[in-house]
Each structure stands twice: as C-alpha cells, then as structure tokens.
Amino acid sequence: MTDALLLLSAMLTGAVRVFAGLFLIHRLLSVRRPDRKSIAAGLAGALILAALLYLTHAAGFYQMALEAVLIAACAHWLQRAELRMSLFVSIFFEIGLSFWQFLLAAGLGVLFRAQDVLNARTLAGQSAVWLLHGLLAGLAVCLSQKEIERKTAFQAISAVALAGFLAVITLSEQTVLDIPDDTLYMWTILAVVLMMSALVFNINRQYEAEKELAKLKSEQAELLERDYTAINRAYQVNAKLFHDFHNHIGVLRQFLTHEKYGEAIRYLDELQAPVQNLTAAVWTGDETADYLINSKAAAAATSGVQLRIQVEFPRRTNIRSVDLCAILGNLLDNALEAARQVPEPEERYVALTIRRIHQMLVVKVENSFSSAPIQENGGLKTTKTEGGLHGWGLKSAQTAAEKYDGMVQAGVSGDVFRAVATLSYQGIEDLQA
C-alpha cells in the first residue's frame, strides 16, 4: 500500500480509538459525558499523534502508550474523571485493542490461508485493522446513546477478555500461519493480564461504591440527629409544661375565684404560646413525622417562606418513622434553603404534598428558587459552597426510599423545583384492635 493511504488509515483509526475510549471512560467511571470540546480535543490530538508517529516510524508500543495518556488527559481535564482510574482504563483499553487486532488478523489469516494478513502495511493486513475499528466505531456509538449498567459492563468486559484468552490458546494449535512461539506466549500472558485487570477494576469500583455508601450513611445519621435534636427539644418543652400543669391549674383557679378573668385569659395565652408552635396540627398520624413537619413550618414562618401542606397519609403501614423523617426532613430542608434565597418575599414558598395511590405513597415537595441547580453526571450538584453536609440531602432521601422499592426524582419545571419520592408500602394490623 502507498504511504499516503497508510498515513490516512493510521490517523482515522487513531481517531476512532480515542473517540471510543472517551465514551468508555464516561460509562465505566460514571463521569461527565464527552462534549464537543472534549471530542474535538481528543480527535485533534489523535490525528496529530498518529501523523507524528507514522512519520517517525515509531514502534507500536509508543502509539499505545501516548494514546492512553491522551485519552486519560482529555477525560481528566474535560470530563472531570479521576486521573488514576482514567489512566488505568485507557491503558488496558489500548492493550485490549492491540490484542484483538492480532487475534482478528491471525483469524483471517487462518481462514483465508494468507500469511500477509499479519502485516498491517499490506492491503490484507489493513482489512483486519478496519474490521476491528468498524466494530469499535459501532461500540462507541452504542456507548454514546445507550445507558449501560455497571454490572452489565463488567460482565461484557470479562466475557471479551475470556474469549480472547480462549482464542489465543486455540491459535497456538493451528499450523496454517507461521507465528513465533514468543509472540503467542506474549499474547497469552496479556490475555491473562486483561482478565485480571477486569477483576481488579470491578473490585475497585465496588470498594468505591461501598465507601460512598458508608459516607452517605454517616451523613444521613448526622442529618437525622439534627432533626431529632429539634424534636427532642419539643418533647422537653411539653414535658415541662405537663410537669407544671398542677401549678398552672392552681394559678388559674385563683384568678377565676377572684373573678380576674382578664388575667386568666392572658395567663392562658402565655401557656399556649410555646405549645402552639409544636402541636399546630396532626398531619400524618406519625407523632415523630408530625413534630418534624410542624418544626419545618415554624422555621418557614420565621424565614418568611409560605409553607403549603396537603397530606393524605395511610394509617398503620410498614414505613418506619426514621425513614419517613429522612425523606421529609431532607426534601423540606433543601426546599426551604432554596426558597429563602428568592429576593421577592411574596414569591418565597414551599409546597408539601403527600398522597397515597393504591399501595404507593407519593411525597412531593415543590419550591421557588433564585437560581436553577446545576446538572452534573446525571444528577443535581449543590450550589452551596461552604461544604459540610451540603449535597447529601437527595442522596439520603434516595437511600431511605430504596428500602421500600422506591426512588427520588428531582428536576426543574419552569420556575418551580420539584422533588418527588415514591414508596411502596404494606398495611399492618393494629395490634390494639
């Protein structure tokens, strides 16, 4: 083949590899989807790199190494991927491509009994190269359009690595092509390395997921502790009032005995004030959840936020108070925080709606906001900058909802932010009936 065609082939195949590598990292590491900027940077780098390596007649090893660095760099700086993991994925991606390019070339050589298929500088060798990259381009398009679960991706990668190992073992038994034993031995070792790398990657991702879950549970515990502290204070106020009840009755009796009705009314107003904020209404029938809603209502009134509440809550369900409070507390906290930032006082509002639909409980919280939340990695990123517990509210609510085969969805519709939690519940018998 002519040098011009080989150069064009090297540039185009390099572009396909980089394009597929960026989307592979996007799916495996759950990072930002490659945008036009990252794709353009990757493709430009691939074209320049392929041209320089071809003109300098560099070995294939340098092409693999430099392309892996290029993919990892683009993923790190433009897709916000962790550099260490993106470099790990890109290195084994390049090794796997070289391995399968050899297997396809050898397979075609055995099939057509053509030794020159192993030489990538021949027309037959280029057919194997483009067969692989045609499949890779199809995979890249699939990765760019279809969501793939992490478990499914791991199974597919493991299957490909195992198939490659079996293929190279089978290839060692053929007698059609003259393949040096050292070459077969090298590719056999690399096939084992690829299978081990898939296993190590899966273990690492499981560890990261468990670490994030542990952190989420820790943050959820802190959030719940904060709400229960407020509820505990409410109980203490009630306990104090009931403890002093006989004293209050005695004072009121003296007022009424001496016909001091005005003083009696004022005394009753003073007694009612601390109780009114705590027991304003019964919303769910769950005492803990009702205290929580009433405390949020008091916080909303203090902040000048209008809180609208509509509740239709089923009695005697298997939904635990701690999980219900985790959902209500986090969703209402986020909503109140956003509504407080609205400049116009009359536009600050939060609406809580709880409805039951057959055996499904729907908790919906809507609120006004001053600036829309940021979408990142398929989720919502907190706009708060002071750190701490911020950003864990929706995750904590999601964790609680998943215990009841539910989920939490959040998004913006016009000038309203809406978070909806759905839970499947079961009725339980009233033991006192």
Least confident interval from 311-320, 343-352, 383-392: 383-392
Q: Give the CA angle between residues 47, 50, 52 to the nearest 5°.
A: 105
Residue type for 310, please? Q
CA 220 to chain centre: 16
Give the β-pairing of 407-413 and 416-424.
antiparallel
Instruction: Read off the pLDDT of each residue in 314-339 and give the average, rounded to a whole number.
Output: 88
CB 284, CB 352: distance < 8 Å: no
User: Which residue intervals of 172-259 are DSSP H helices?
Assistant: 181-243, 245-257
Provide the token pair at 127. Answer: 């057919």
Task: Calculate the alpha carbon distances from 293 to 79, 284, 289, 299, 407 in Å.
Answer: 40, 9, 6, 10, 21
Least confident interval from 73-87, 138-152, 318-332: 138-152
Binned at pLDDT 50, 70 and 90, residue 275 comes out as low
Question: Which region, left, alpha or beta, applies to residue 388 given φ > 0 means left and ψ of -120 to 50 means alpha?
Answer: left
Binned at pLDDT 50, 70 and 90, residue 107 comes out as very high
The whole-number pLDDT of residue 433 equals: 40
Q: State the average pLDDT for the chain.
A: 84
CB 179, CB 118: distance < 8 Å: yes
pTM above 0.75, yes or no: no
Binned at pLDDT 50, 70 and 90, residue 388 comes out as very low
Binned at pLDDT 50, 70 and 90, residue 391 comes out as very low
Residue type for 228, please? Y
CB 15, CB 43: distance < 8 Å: yes
DSSP single-letter state for residue 86: H
- 3-class DSSP assignment, residue 317: strand
Least confident interval from 99-103, 144-148, 374-378: 374-378
Greater pLDDT, 188 or 314:
188
Residues forming a β-bridge with 363? 354, 421
pLDDT in tens, 415-429: 899 999 999 998 776
Task: Calculate the alpha carbon distances from 44 to 28, 39, 73 in Å.
Answer: 24, 8, 13
Classify the C-alpha dihedral 189-191-195-197 as positive or negative.
positive
Question: Mind giving me the DSSP string for 22-81?
Answer: HHHHHHHHT-PPP-HHHHHHHHHHHHHHHHHHHHTT--HHHHHHHHHHHHHHHHHHHH--
CB 204, CB 227: distance < 8 Å: no
pLDDT in tens, 37-78: 999 999 999 999 999 998 888 888 898 999 999 999 999 999
Task: Calculate the alpha carbon distances from 359 to 228, 354, 356, 403, 426 in Å.
Answer: 28, 13, 7, 15, 7
Provide the token pair at 370. Answer: 């001053």
